[in-house]
Amino acid sequence: MKLWIFSDLHLEYADLSSPLAIPEADVCGVAGDLMRAPANGVHWLAQHVMTAMPCIYVAGNHEFYRGGIKEGLDDGRAAAERFPDVHFLENDFVIVDGVRFIGATLWTDFRIDGSQHLSMAHARERMNDYRQIALQRSPWQRFVPVAAYRIHQDSRRFIEETLKADRDIPTVVVSHHLPSAKSLPARFYRDFNGAYASDLEDVIEDGRPALWVHGHPHDSCDYTLGDTRVVCNPRGYEDENAAFDRQLVVEVRA
């Protein structure tokens, strides 16, 4: 199976400088931060990609800006019901042509650099996520790092249990947040690493997915953990990432 991979188009800030040329592939995997509101992302994929291939889509943090996570997920799922070949996943999986795709935003556990408490404090004080996002809007609940941690725990548990449930089926995991510190760009300010990445290397090495696709930092990466290839191919803000490959296709053996 050939998988077309990208993330972080950030169409809420600027349109693409030129339309995406669709490569020869079987499935499109989108690792979040496509545009504001998951339902909008679903509709964009239905219009621009679905006619060529099925789409696997997870929300990034920016999908929820100026909105609530609960409502955003509900609206995204409802929108995807109208388009059978756009699969919007949050702690869910789908099998396409013999390959299992597991999807989640993933958030983080704030432990990548040791001090969870300090990492949560830095994130709450300085990151836009905790000013721009509500946990839910009606009734209103504030989104705070502890809530992100709890959602992360649910996602980690789901991914781990799903990988263990059937070890023989070829599997691709798609998340927005990073599953390993190895994906962190060297330029990142250390205080915020915990809001970008969590250490799921044990989950990867035990579950052995063929591929893990993520987004979030606007730096590309491609490396292996055990038997698993980890790939990030983000555009960033207005073509910020010079290494972004508009036609990156990765092959997974089905």
**Residue 217's domain is classified under what CATH number?**
3.60.21
pLDDT at 248: 99
Query: pLDDT for 4-35, tens place per residue?
Result: 999 999 999 988 888 899 999 999 999 999 99
Query: pLDDT for 72-82, tens place per residue?
Result: 999 999 999 99
Q: Mean pLDDT across the stretch 207-229?
A: 98
Q: Mean pLDDT across the stretch 61-74?
A: 98
> Rounded to an integer, what distance in angstroms lies between the CA atom of residue 240 and that of residue 247?
17
Structure tokens at 83: 């388009």
How many H helices and E strands in the chain?
A: 6, 14
Q: How confident is the model at residue 101 (pLDDT cuts 50, 70, 90)?
A: very high
3-class DSSP assignment, residue 208: coil
pLDDT at 151 > cutoff 90: yes
Number of structural domains found in the chain: 1
What is this structure's pTM?
A: 0.97
pLDDT at 188 > cutoff 70: no
Q: Mean pLDDT across the stretch 55-66?
A: 99
pLDDT at 131: 97
Mean predicted lDDT score pLDDT of the chain: 96
> Rounded to an integer, what distance in angstroms lies between the CA atom of residue 32 and that of residue 155?
15
> Rounded to an integer, what distance in angstroms lies between the CA atom of residue 144 and that of residue 48?
34
pLDDT at 114: 82
Closest by CA to 176, choosing from 79, 34, 15, is 34
pLDDT at 239: 81
Angle value at C-alpha 93, between 138 and 185, nearest 5 degrees: 80
pLDDT at 205 > cutoff 70: yes
Question: In the chain, pLDDT over 90 holds for what percent of residues?
Answer: 92
Neighbours of 94 (CB within 10 A): 14
Which range marks the domain in which residue 194 is found? 2-251
Instruction: Provide the strand spans (E) within 97-196.
Output: 99-104, 133-137, 140-142, 171-175
3-class DSSP assignment, residue 251: strand
Q: How confident is the model at residue 89 (pLDDT cuts 50, 70, 90)?
A: very high
Question: In the chain, pLDDT over 70 holds for what percent of residues?
Answer: 99
